[in-house]
Each structure stands twice: as C-alpha cells, then as structure tokens.
Structure 1
Amino acid sequence: MIQPSTDPQIDRIDRRILDVLQRQGRLPMTELAQEVGLSTSPVTERVRRMERAGIITGYQARVDPAALGRPLLVFVELTLSSKSGELFEKLRAELLHEPRVLECHLVSGRFDYLIKARLSAMSEYRELLAQILKKIPVPAQSNSYVVMEEIKESLVLPVEPPIA
C-alpha cells in the first residue's frame, strides 16, 4: 500500500530526494547525496525504503511524441447510456490494453470517462474511437478535444506537505 504524503515517515530530506528524483531520475546516488546534503549510504537507503513502500513507483524516460510519429494529442469525454459495475469493468479491461490510450479516468460529472490518447493523425483517431465505441455493449456518446498547442505537461508532483 502506498503511504500517504502526510505520513510521518516522509520527512523533509525524503521530500527533497523526491523533488530531485522527479526532475533527474537518472542522477547517480553520489550526486543525489550531494544535492540533499547527506552521504551516499543514507540517501541510497532512503531511496530504497521509498521504493519498497511504493512511494517511488518507477523511473522512465520522457520521449518526444513527434519523434515517434505521434504528434496528435486528443482528449475524449465518453458518456455511457447506462452504467453498471460490469460495464465499467468491461470498458476498463478494453482500455487497459490499448497502447495509444495514455490515460483513462472514470470521473464524476456530466460524462463518465476522460481519455487521453497520442496518435499519428486524425484518421488514426477516427479508427481508435470507432474501435472503443464498438467494444462498449451499450450506446455511448463522445466529445473530442484535439490539442492545438501543449502549454504545460508535467509529471512532477509538489513535494511540500499539503495545506490542511
């Protein structure tokens, strides 16, 4: 189970480590230790502890989507005509295995799902949307938003304690 950010086991130094690693995940432990003002051994142990606790969930490279031929970013609101746990599970199973879908969130509000997809062109988007809608056993409505300009995208979370 992932510890909440207010957990007393995450102290000021852990937060500094998390901040640095979010921005520079490939930083050697010796350099990370210098950044946070500790020696290498304690920093390494803190990082390993946070990995074991599920606070640090992984490391990955950020890749330019255009370099991979996927410059089109689309958000889709999906509204199902009926709702049930079984239906939600079926859609979940379908979308989990679709690599072009980067994010999918079951949300509250006027629609049911918010989907984020990276694609090569509008024709690929039409094909993806048709594929998704075909696999839903009830009628569904979609609203699409094609991104014209990406202003900010970040995976870096604030590390300071949340305001109560």
Structure 2
Amino acid sequence: MSDDLPELDRFDRAILAALSGDGRMPVTELARRIGLSKTPTQARVKRLEEAGVIAGYRAVLNPIRMGLANVAYVEVRLTDTREAALQAFNRAVRAVPEIEECHMMAAGFDYLMKVRTGDIADYRRVLGERISTLPHVASTSTYVAMEAVKETGL
C-alpha cells in the first residue's frame, strides 16, 4: 500500500465492520467483539479516524418512515462537458435536496442520479422544476424503482 493509505489488519477490519453496523457502539463492547482490550481498541479507532478511513458518524434515517418512498434513477446528458460546465452542474446538483446521489459516469450519458421523493407527482415536479433546469442539461431518462431489494445504509 502507499504511504497515504493505512495498512488494515484483521482487527482494523473487525472494527470497521462493527462500527459500520452500529456507530454508537461503546468502546468496551467494540473491544470485546474484536478480542482486544479497551486501550488498544481506542487507539485503533483514533488512528482510523485520523487516516480518514472512518470519515464520520451519523444517524441513519429511514426515508420511508419520513414519507419519501419514491425512488427514481435519472440518466442525465449534458450539452457541454468541458470542465467549467461540469463544475457548474456539480455545484447546482449539491443544492437540490431530493438528489440523494449523483455520479459522473463513463457511459452513453454523463451523470446518474438517485432521486428520492414522496410520490411520483413530487418526482415529476422535481424533474420539471429542478433537474431539467440544472446547468447544461440536454436530456434526462428516468427509471422508477419498484422495490429496494438491498440498500446499504438502512
């Protein structure tokens, strides 16, 4: 591995697996699960945080319980893919709360978005008023998810 990336041993990987399932796990429970004492476990967690392997801790919200059951995936094609246009598009996407994820793609389209709304009528409004008006959008294609079979983070 390069100097920038920490070498991860089996204890580090066990810590990451445990914390990804329960980020609020007390260090004593974490230590018991991975088979180390509290002090070296704390030191490992701190090292993983400082190295950026653990990027943070957050509450995992259930979007369905929040009334956001509709998921659409949107392919976006741009009219301009020069760097300034890409940066303008990226900045504008970050300001649209309904867009949960946006990825630049190496495909027959430029971006793939995951958009979450209350229902299809809400999605239609977001598409017409927000997504279609993003900088340099030429066209979109929408795919509506019928059921989440596997979603990490929930």
TM-score (normalizing by structure 1): 0.85
Q: Which amino acid aligns with 1:102?
A: E
Contact 2:71 2:117 in 1 (8 A): yes
Q: Which amino acid aligns with 2:81?
A: K
Contact 2:75 2:112 in 1 (8 A): yes
Q: Say which SS state the counterpart of residue 74 (structure 2) adopts.
A: strand
Shift of 1:139: 5.0
Contact 2:76 2:137 in 1 (8 A): no
Which residue of 1 is the match for residue 109 of structure 2? 111
Q: Say which SS state the counterpart of residue 94 (structure 1) adopts.
A: helix
| Structure 2: distance between partners of 1:141 and 1:84 | 17
Stretches of structure 1 lacking an aligned partner (at least 5 in a row): 157-164
1:28 aligns with 2:8: no
| Structure 1: distance between partners of 2:29 and 2:55 | 21
Q: Which amino acid aligns with 2:131?
A: I
TM-score (normalizing by structure 2): 0.91
Stretches of structure 2 lacking an aligned partner (at least 5 in a row): none
Q: Please, which of 69, 76, 79 is the counterpart of residue 77 of structure 2?
A: 79
Q: Say which SS state the counterpart of residue 133 (structure 2) adopts.
A: helix
Distance 1:17 1:127, change over 3 A: same
| Structure 2: distance between partners of 1:115 and 1:103 | 5
| Structure 1: distance between partners of 2:14 and 2:56 | 17
Q: Which amino acid aligns with 1:132?
A: I
Shift of 1:64: 1.6
Question: What is the CA RMSD across the aligned residues, in angstroms?
Answer: 1.8
Alignment of 1:10-159 (within 5 A): 10-130=8-128, 131-136=130-135, 138-155=136-153
Give deviations 1:13-70, integer Å, cap 9, x for gaps. 1111111111121110000000001111110111011111100011122222121111
Shift of 1:77: 0.4
Contact 2:72 2:145 in 1 (8 A): yes
| Structure 2: distance between partners of 1:89 and 1:149 | 33
| Structure 2: distance between partners of 1:61 and 1:47 | 19
Runs of 4+ in 1 over 2 A off after TM superposition: none
| Structure 2: distance between partners of 1:139 and 1:89 | 13
| Structure 2: distance between partners of 1:135 and 1:19 | 38
Shift of 1:89: 0.5
